[in-house]
Amino acid sequence: MTGTFLHPTGGLPTPRTTPDNLQQHIDRIVPRIDHHIDRLCPDTPADARAAWLPADGPTGPEQTNATGLGHRLHRALSAPVRHLTDAAGRRWRPVMIWETVDLLGGDSERCGPLIAAIEMLHTGSLIVDDVQDASPLRRGRPAVHAVFGTPTALNAGTAAYFLWDRAVQLVFPRDAGRGGELRALLLAALRAGHAGQALDLQGHRAEMDRAVADGDRDTVLDIVRLTHRLKSGAPTAAGLETAAVVTGAEPELRAALAAFGSAVGTAYQIADDVADLRGVTHAGEPTKLTSEDLRNGKVTMPLAHAVGRLPQPVLTRLWQEIKEGSLHDPALSRARARLEACGAVQACYEEADRVVHEAWTRLAPLLPRAGRHLLYELALLIVRSKQIA
């Protein structure tokens, strides 16, 4: 996670911690998270059975005697997931949860498997999303389906969701009540995420058609926001609500943490739409195709915010090119320049900041004063800094 802010703070409070110092704080947490990722999804065949087979599930001589079972499970499940987790991911979701557990007086190290499981949930969704979007690159390397094949990618990506169950068993093996709460959180996040993905796969073309025709961008903005909130906001909300569950937080605080998580996840996705438009590199290499969403005919936040900002004939022509899938350089470069120049990109940044700040205003009074600024500044860094999904 880079320490460089890519857009201004506007009227928001000035951070107390410099981006570089905040990055050092993050860098101290990430190795602990990676340790728990290793526990959940080991990078060795010897531990594959424990990772992927239910501890109390059906057993029999075939499980014990199957030749090379650990190697087969590792090849089909662990290796595809590790292909992505070992790439240039930012770990921002688990870092936020780790920080929140500590802020609320909990034991983040003990809760490490649960925190890591949120990253596994995100990883699984990326694997499946890349299949559905036919994306060739993710985090600067070939997408999982390009390396392991589509059937294996879909199965491994989906299986990664259920490492949450193993995490619950590791952290609360004898606490059925708390385990039930945590499993319910995961299921709710999965339901929301799949609803958001359904909307995303359908696209928002009808709403964009109407917006282009009548100049009213509210409807198309609302459906894109809802999609982002379901796809990205809901899992992040579940992560911060997990911190509330494991620390025994009161209902008001739990609800405010969930709302803040939803806001950060949604704002991140808004900023990610801009990052997709501009292109993202890591170590000098592209992490995915520049303007992949526009190439695929998707309605993104910058495009929705361009309604009413671009002259109607220009917007009509641009939208027609996007729908037809005919945007290639130099037309693609012109489209990016128009979205930047008309103020649509700046509107995205301002909306992302506003969403986070409004949720923080509700949450901050409920948190311990000592150290709470770190959580807010981490959220700002997540939303404002260079994106690597």
CA distance 166 to 50: 9
What residue ranges in 232-359 does DSSP mark as E strands? 281-282, 285-286
Q: Is 293 left (phi over 0), alpha (psi -120 to 50) or beta?
A: alpha
Contacts of 384 (CB under 8 A, 6+ apart): 5, 6, 7, 271, 349, 352, 353
What confidence score (pLDDT) does residue 125 get? Answer: 96
CA distance 356 to 343: 20
The Cα-based distances of 172 to 55, 112, 141, 169, 242 in angstroms read 14, 12, 36, 5, 13
Beta bridge partners of 141: 138
CA distance 125 to 120: 9
Quote the Cα angle for 20-24-27, to 5°: 135
Dihedrals phi, psi of 285, to nearest 5 degrees: -115, 145
Comparing C-alpha atoms, which of 310, 381, 388, 309 is closest to residue 352? 381
For residue 280, what are its two tokens? Answer: 């993202």
User: Cα dihedral angle (248, 368, 364, 234), rounded to 10 degrees?
Assistant: -30
For residue 325, what are its two tokens? Answer: 């899938």
For residue 286, what are its two tokens? Answer: 């592209």
What confidence score (pLDDT) does residue 283 get? Answer: 61
pLDDT < 50 stretches in the chain = 1-11, 388
**Is the Cβ–Cβ distance between 299 and 207 less than 8 Å?**
yes
Domains and CATH numbers, the chain: 19-54+69-384 (1.10.600.10)
For residue 359, what are its two tokens? Answer: 């949720």
CA distance 311 to 323: 18
